[in-house]
Structure 1
């Protein structure tokens, strides 16, 4: 058992406290002693049994004035109150003697409370033994307009061991809202969204029509007012409008009085998720927890993201959901009773199927436990202090997924593709040595126009190696503003066919009999009109990161599990996240491909790949749901015409997990 301290101050709504409380409960369920320090206004917070709650002298704000702190009575906070908060926080640290300290949002936000958080960080640095110091942040952050503030945040993170990012990078990576530079990226640990998915009591109503919600704060009042008026414009529809507890009673009373006969106005309910499950449509903002409720229920939704005070978080989340077919967006500045009624009458479809990671509480506990077990696994030294840590490699999620596949009578085919081979190099020797030691066959995607004679000579006696056609010259023909591509939709189809023809001819001439007529487009990007021409050009197969439409005579086997975080400087991505994604791929029917790049991998990536390959080889040897497949067999004419990877790896082939543009090097 370890001791965990989580410090959080919510100011606008209760989302930050809700997420922190979920983490606290997850750590407590795992047997840890948890102290939750809350600095916002006290709210009803159920199910904190077994968790020590420390309430600091509370502060709050009005509107979006995050720098104007108020006390509960609405007067500006005094220096004495801030000092009392700081002393209470340090007292909680001293009393709890934690092994792990987690600061929610800070140092990425809550700059107005920097003195108390800095005092806590200093106490951590001075403690012996020194606790782990972690930041906990949601999927989207508010990026400061002044670059020096970003630099100050990154400087403060030098004292931190990791940053728990409670989001899914395959859906919405952190760098969509915050610059994850080379100093920050190695610290990021994506957990998935924190959603405890509690079973809510079933509502008394079997069908509840349109459910309108605005979160717990008063920020949802404009939406609720528009909904009351929109209900009057749509007498044939049934509306249920839920109002957060922070909306003052007089404003709530006005909503009740103005509601037409087809609308019910009531305070927010504990069975909100169950209401959504029985609703025809949800109308809401796009806060973190509300979106999780929507994803869980699958309810069709219209999102009116909160954008007052130059807030961008909810709009980015809403637009991303809309881009994935999971919602429709009505911008807040376009909100009127008429526009809302029109959006409702447009009848959005239910949310599309998705595999967005929502096991963030459990994964956070697993990441922290792994860090506590293996403090010697260092990522890189930091100036003047303790090195940052990489969590130990936890293979249990993958092992469990394979066991379930075996119990279901399924065997998952794994294969290994390595890209960018051009010559005999020390890195190639290392790759081949790893293949021999682990017992894995490897398929080398070689660049025909750049292939040197030394490559074919080195591979002449390597019985377990197949060769694939990695484009023609690995040349980028995309416009400057577009993602790199050699066979992308930026040139005429005839030019693409000509290059593909030349590539296969050169490959056959330079690479010898180990060559398979399989095209691997550089950067995994391909004009969708080209595959239909490939069989006539002599190709038998296609391998990228995700399938294209089936083509008769063309076998597709893809490799989407890339362990490299390209935007972080071609470093190892979060191992826990890669394992989790691979485990979820195993849960689907199809072939799972590992993609490596021997010419650019760092030591951490080599070590991770070795562990993963050894583990899967051991599972295959013991008949535990895995089979190591050779490319020559997968692309044989008797193979399935299309080998589908798991849907969690579909999307832009330039950004497989953990969405760091994993095909950036091709």
Structure 2
């Protein structure tokens, strides 16, 4: 069975991890997959069991700078360790293919480990295919200097670009101004989405004895580093909304929302028994399937979830 190394680094939210997990889960049906994860662990988030997970010492961004949280090691020590681990795993696995999620269209702060990785692969295994996995909207304003770096990296190292969109709706040329300069083949894969589980959890367990005629609102903001104001406004609106529309709100703050901000939201909700605030749930799709309204930031993954569950979005 052919072997694939899939590199995923999430620096601020968890959207890249969610999307990558779905991709490697599908790849595992046909390949032996090694899933390299470089961000902090997320309590409750289950990585695919069909793949070998390789956890790098965690790095992420806070206020634009790398941090290692409570690790006893410095950022520079962690960076050096990560680079060495990647090279060692590359030697151990001898992959037929390396897939880098979002790189080289992003993750330029990680050049310290990614360039040594791809150069090492080119040296020890010239036949190994190097592939970029890219979502539909790159999410950056056009920057000629950065676009030059992207083109150079793609053309020097990469054999293929997997663009996760439907070409009837969004093409790579719509997202990247200098698309004609990319030499590698571009494949539009279709959108990546989590598959809903229509009957796995009873309605009563999700909504705690809420009557069927009560309006059910689920709110989520991804990892939680941004979006506090959305949840704050939603909680404030509940008192006004209740006068004419009995409802219950299930609010998920995200695993990366600062503890103090979570406390502020809970204080704002007070003793209102129709508002439940939690950090994270692996059953978000099931909540969206059974809710009357889904409130979110409308990111890639949530938008795909809305389409797959038929949730009414706001």
Instruction: Specify which of 220, 227, 230 is matched with residue 227 of structure 2.
Output: 220
State the match for 2:294 in structure 1: 282
State the match for 1:257 in structure 2: 267
What is the distance in 2 between the residues matched to 1:298 and 1:209? 14
| TM-score (norm: length of structure 2) | 0.87
User: Does residue 1:270 correspond to 2:269, yes or no?
Assistant: no
1:300–1:185: structure 2 CA closer, same or farther, 3 Å change rule? farther
SS at match of 1:54: strand
1:69/1:76 contact within 8 Å kept: no
1:119–1:22: structure 2 CA closer, same or farther, 3 Å change rule? same
What is the distance in 2 between the residues matched to 1:261 and 1:78? 43
- CA shift, 1:50, in A, is 3.3
State the match for 2:10 in structure 1: 10
1:59/1:77 contact within 8 Å kept: no
- CA shift, 1:224, in A, is 0.9
1:422-461 alignment, distance < 5 Å: none
State the match for 2:237 in structure 1: 230
| Alpha-carbon displacement from aligned partner over 1:423-478 (angstroms, at most 9, x marks no partner) | xxxxxxxxxxxxxxxxxxxxxxxxxxxxxxxxxxxxxxxxxxxxxxxxxxxxxxxx
State the match for 1:22 in structure 2: 22
| Alpha-carbon displacement from aligned partner over 1:87-112 (angstroms, at most 9, x marks no partner) | 11111111111001001111110111
User: Does residue 1:99 correspond to 2:96, yes or no?
Assistant: yes
1:562-641 alignment, distance < 5 Å: none
What is the distance in 1 between the residues matched to 2:246 and 2:267? 19
User: Does residue 1:43 correspond to 2:42, yes or no?
Assistant: yes
What is the distance in 2 between the residues matched to 1:237 and 1:214? 23
- CA shift, 1:193, in A, is 1.2
1:144/1:150 contact within 8 Å kept: no
Instruction: Specify which of 250, 261, 265 is matched with residue 240 of structure 1.
Output: 250
User: Does residue 1:80 correspond to 2:87, yes or no?
Assistant: no
What is the distance in 1 between the residues matched to 2:177 and 2:72? 36
1:60/1:70 contact within 8 Å kept: yes
Larger radius of gyration: 1
1:216/1:246 contact within 8 Å kept: yes
1:143/1:178 contact within 8 Å kept: no
SS at match of 1:69: strand
What is the distance in 1 between the residues matched to 2:140 and 2:253? 29
User: Does residue 1:125 correspond to 2:122, yes or no?
Assistant: yes
2:172/2:179 contact within 8 Å kept: no
State the match for 1:168 in structure 2: 166
1:373-522 alignment, distance < 5 Å: none
Write out the 4+ residue segments of structure 1 that deviate beyond 6 Å after TM superposition. none
Ranked by relative contact order (alpha carbons within 8 Å, sequence separation 6 or more), the top structure is 2
SS at match of 2:227: helix
Gaps of 5+ in 1: 303-666
What is the distance in 2 between the residues matched to 1:139 and 1:202? 34
Alignment length, in residue pairs?
298
User: Does residue 1:178 correspond to 2:176, yes or no?
Assistant: yes
What is the distance in 2 between the residues matched to 1:52 and 1:60? 22
What is the distance in 1 between the residues matched to 2:126 and 2:119? 14
What is the distance in 1 between the residues matched to 2:193 and 2:93? 27
| Alpha-carbon displacement from aligned partner over 1:202-251 (angstroms, at most 9, x marks no partner) | 43235652221111233122211111111122113413222212223332
What is the distance in 1 between the residues matched to 2:226 and 2:72? 20
User: Does residue 1:292 correspond to 2:304, yes or no?
Assistant: yes
| TM-score (norm: length of structure 1) | 0.43
CA RMSD of superposed structures (Å): 2.2
1:61–1:172: structure 2 CA closer, same or farther, 3 Å change rule? same
What is the distance in 1 between the residues matched to 2:203 and 2:182? 45
| Alpha-carbon displacement from aligned partner over 1:399-440 (angstroms, at most 9, x marks no partner) | xxxxxxxxxxxxxxxxxxxxxxxxxxxxxxxxxxxxxxxxxx
1:50–1:301: structure 2 CA closer, same or farther, 3 Å change rule? closer
1:60-71 alignment, distance < 5 Å: 60-63=60-63, 65=64, 68-71=65-68
| Alpha-carbon displacement from aligned partner over 1:152-193 (angstroms, at most 9, x marks no partner) | 111111121111111122222233332143222762111111
State the match for 1:189 in structure 2: 187
- CA shift, 1:292, in A, is 1.3
Gaps of 5+ in 2: none
